[in-house]
Amino acid sequence: MRTAEIRSRFLDYFAERGHTVVPGAPLPTPDPTLLFVNAGMVPFKPCLTGETPAPWPRAASVQKCVRTLDIEEVGRTTRHGSFFQMNGNFSFGDYFKEEAIAFAWELSTKPVAEGGYGLEPERIWVTVHHSDSEARALWRRVAGLPDGRIVSRGDEDNYWSMGVPGPCGPCSELYYDRGTAFGKPGGPDADEDRYMEFWNLVFMQYERGEGHGKSGYPILGELPSRNIDTGMGLERMATLLQGVGNLYEIDETWPVLERAARLTGVAYGSDEDGDVRLRVVADHVRTALMLLADGTTPGNEGRGYVLRRILRRAVRSMRLLGHHDPALPELLPVARDLMAQSYPEVAGSFERIADQAYAEEEAFRSTLRQGTTILDTAVAKVRAEGGSSLPGSQAFMLHDTYGFPIDLTLEMAAEQGVTVDRDGFTELMSQQRERARADARARKSGSTVNTSELRTVLGEHGPTDWRAWDALTTDSRVLALLGTDGTLPVARTGDIVTVVLDRTPFYAESGGQESDAGHLTGASVEADVLDVQRPLPGLVVHQVRVTAGELAAGDPVHAAVDPEWRLGARQAHSGTHVLHAALREILGPGALQSGSYNRPGHLRLDFPWRGALSASARSEIEEAANRALRRDLPVDVRWMTLPEARQAGALALFDETYGEQVRVVEIGGAWSRELCGGTHVAHASQVGVVALTAEYSVGAGMRRLEAAVGNEGFGHLARERDLVSRIAEQLQAPRAELPDRIATLLGRLKAADQENQRLRERENAARAAELAAGSREIGGALLAASVIEGDGPAARRLARSVRDKLPQGRPGVAAIAARDGDKGLMAVALTPAARSAGLSAGTLVKEALQGRGGGTDDVAQGGGIPADQLDQALRKLTDTLAATA
């Protein structure tokens, strides 16, 4: 049975039993504690924890998941991969243990001809929590399982919580006996390779308190509403039903592995190291495909770094297997064809996916060439000095300068028998991140509120009545004042606090749109709203600075958005949609927005593209955007179901989570149709103008456009007009002739520069000949030395020129000291005879400058001393040379 059919049978089975089939969420998740969805329940987390009411009493989904905590173990074991799919059925206060057990048993054992999976009942084992006698009794009664195939386990294996106060409960897991070929008998406790877990049932029935670990917390009591969360591993079930040895051999991964084996000439099963690398390739290519399809782009931080690491591990595994040509163009289309049956979007957006993946591979191939040479040199130096550990600073330099991931440095160093000072590297990375955080804090100061405090507020008062779409003001009541240490009784002049209101007109930052600015006023208080966020689903919080008076919980306030700010924000957000549509109109559907940011007067938009846009392309994009504004295209907002929106061709942001009903913003109908929760103008002409201000690279295969809109856009164009006017006035030329006139001037400047260079070379040659002729013998070598006015390159050029004019049959040293302002530096060049005599330019420079400098035996340079110490440095070099006699 193919994986796609296993998936559809699961959804059909639960749909027939009253479950709402909920589309899986994108892999990037807005949950601040996660980079990617890593379990089937993650999209349902707000419903399961009671933060928001569930829209359905029972639901079913197939959720894409990525787990990367143990990425180095991928391929080494055959039961775990970085990407997997979790089939889940959920109950929100509806059915409980008996029905969950009955559903799992029936679907697992029902004959294939009747819509089930046809597993043999006598080969199924289950585990239960040792305290859960109810589940044990149900397995006996519902499934007819004997006690011998019901295994009791403790908290570590069969008790679930999210690691924080909230819902918890016992679990029950289903295992299938694959037979003697896979291990020894005795059930899951004896061998979890032979007895493969394929389904986990979580019974959420208790509330836990504070504590650590799997069991270090109190149980506070029964939940008022009990829930069911189950997860059936799709790849695990495919392994069982397709009769293969492991998840790398199922229909959605094996063809990739097989293609990699053919490309490398390494037969799968012939060598354990080769098998591991082939499994890494099969897993990582599919994972990368799905991450790219959901909008993640390669980068150096967060999600982007995870994707970059996965892509690079796949490419490097192919190189270690002997394939040195580009690998992803051979492998990624195979993965696309396998996954498209269940996820049509991987085929529909494959041009964009491929562009990003192939650009990343090409960038990594260049990185490998540079970084490998540097790493090999560093390892050789460590060994020559009798060491066994690469300094953390070296690993950090490889990462920071050459984009060499630390995991790759660790792997390659280990292959050469050298460890890496990981602690030193981590410390340098921490310092770098702290600098970035400090910069962010400087831009947006304020208090950080404990999430548990916010959960309490949400539980007591319910969701915020949010009116940003249709209001600029509301009469509101303060529900809570919060600071870093918890609830505050009052906030006074100068305090920055977090305020929760019962209703608000303020837009909370999301979807790339910056939050609103404005004010809170009351009978005895005035406060500026600095930032607005949505830290929990349904809850809007305001960071405010009290400018006068006092503010306390329960106070009535008038909340007012700055109308000019809101107008600018609407113009910028609608302008982003317009620019996105214009981009796709000119460049094609592959130019799909992968990130955006907009605030009043300014927008930026990231999109996948290989190479810089030409001036004509930028002009066409800008013209297409402003043509839409001139046509005054209508801006309409419609609500529909997510499947209806997708059917209508609406574009979705990858890192947003959508409910049953979604908000679709259309500009000119199908010309621009996107899922969006932002604020927008009513007609395109209200944007004013879109003026492109910049276009540049933000990573391999990723470009960024920036634009000014509204009044700022007109201001930008006015400044450009004034600049052109000044240039025309200075050149005394009509504007239409400026390009030709400037080109003529640049040509003249270039010719003048070339002539000056020729004159400098003649002067340099004459001076070099003069210095060489005036050389004197010191310690058996000819020394030509001088102090000049100039920089490092000038000193180096003159030193080489003097060196070349010294008698080549004798040891010769050219030393040029240079004053660069108040700084001093020195360049030294040696003849071949001097090097043969044992002299070293690098050593001479270091001696002259007290260790400040270095280079090769041939040419070296150093600096770091005051200019008035250059004569002293030349005397030191002379003494060193004399001492070598």
Residues making up the annotated binding site for Zn(2+) are: 573, 577, 676, 680
Query: In which residue are the tokens 């004459």 written?
Result: 766
Question: How far apart are alpha carbons 660 and 653 in whole angstroms?
Answer: 16
**Contacting residues for 285 by C-beta, under 8 A, at least 6 apart:** 256, 314, 328, 331, 332, 334, 335
Q: Determine the Cα–Cα distance for residues 885 and 883; give it in Å rounded to an integer.
A: 6
Residue 348, helix vs strand vs coil: helix
Burial of 861 per CB tally in 10 Å (0-12, 13-18, 19+): buried
Token couple for 21: 């089939």
DSSP three-state, residue 722: helix
| Alpha carbons 441 and 433: distance in angstroms, whole number | 12
What the block records as the tokens of 656 is 């947003």
Token look-up 């046509």 returns 631
Nearest to 14 by CA among 91, 81, 70, 74: 91
Q: What angle do CA 599, 602, 603 make, to 5 degrees?
A: 85
CB 698 within 8 A of CB 576: no
The amino acid present at 521, given as its one-letter code, is T
Q: Name the nearest CA neighbour of 518 among 535, 530, 534.
A: 530
The DSSP string of 483-506 is ETTEE-SEEETT-EEEEEESEE-P
- The answer to whether the beta carbons of residues 156 and 145 sit under 8 Å apart is no
| Gap between the Cα atoms of 192 and 649, Å rounded | 45
Cα–Cα distance measured from residue 254 to residue 239, given in angstroms and rounded to the nearest whole number:
11
Tokens of 6: 């296993």
Task: State how far the Cα of 83 lies from the Cα of 89, in Å rounded to an integer.
Answer: 20
Q: Is 299 helix (H, G, I), strand (E, B) or coil?
A: coil
Residue 349 in tokens: 């957006």
Closest CA to 383 of 418, 422, 424: 418
Three-state DSSP at 851 gives coil
- Which amino acids are annotated as binding site, given as ranges? 573, 577, 676, 680
Sequence-distant (6+) residues with CB within 8 A of 722 are none
- The β-bridge partners of 662 are 640
Name the residue with tokens 């260049």: 366
Q: What SS3 state is found at 54?
A: coil
Supply 604's token pair.
């930026």
Q: Which single residue is written with the structure tokens 């859960």?
A: 132
Q: Which pair of structure tokens corresponds to residue 722?
A: 């004034």
CA distance 686 to 684: 5
CB 70 within 8 A of CB 59: no
The residues, ordered by sequence, that sit 6+ positions from 257 with a Cβ below 8 Å of its Cβ are 248, 249, 268, 278, 279, 281, 282
Contacts of 454 (CB under 8 A, 6+ apart): 482, 500, 535, 536, 539, 541
CA 608 to chain centre: 14
Structure-token pair, residue 59:
């639901």
Contact between 200 and 56 (Cβ < 8 Å): no
Q: Strand pairing partners for 216?
A: 212
Q: How wide is the angle at C-alpha 165 spanned by C-alphas 159 and 169, nearest 5°?
A: 25
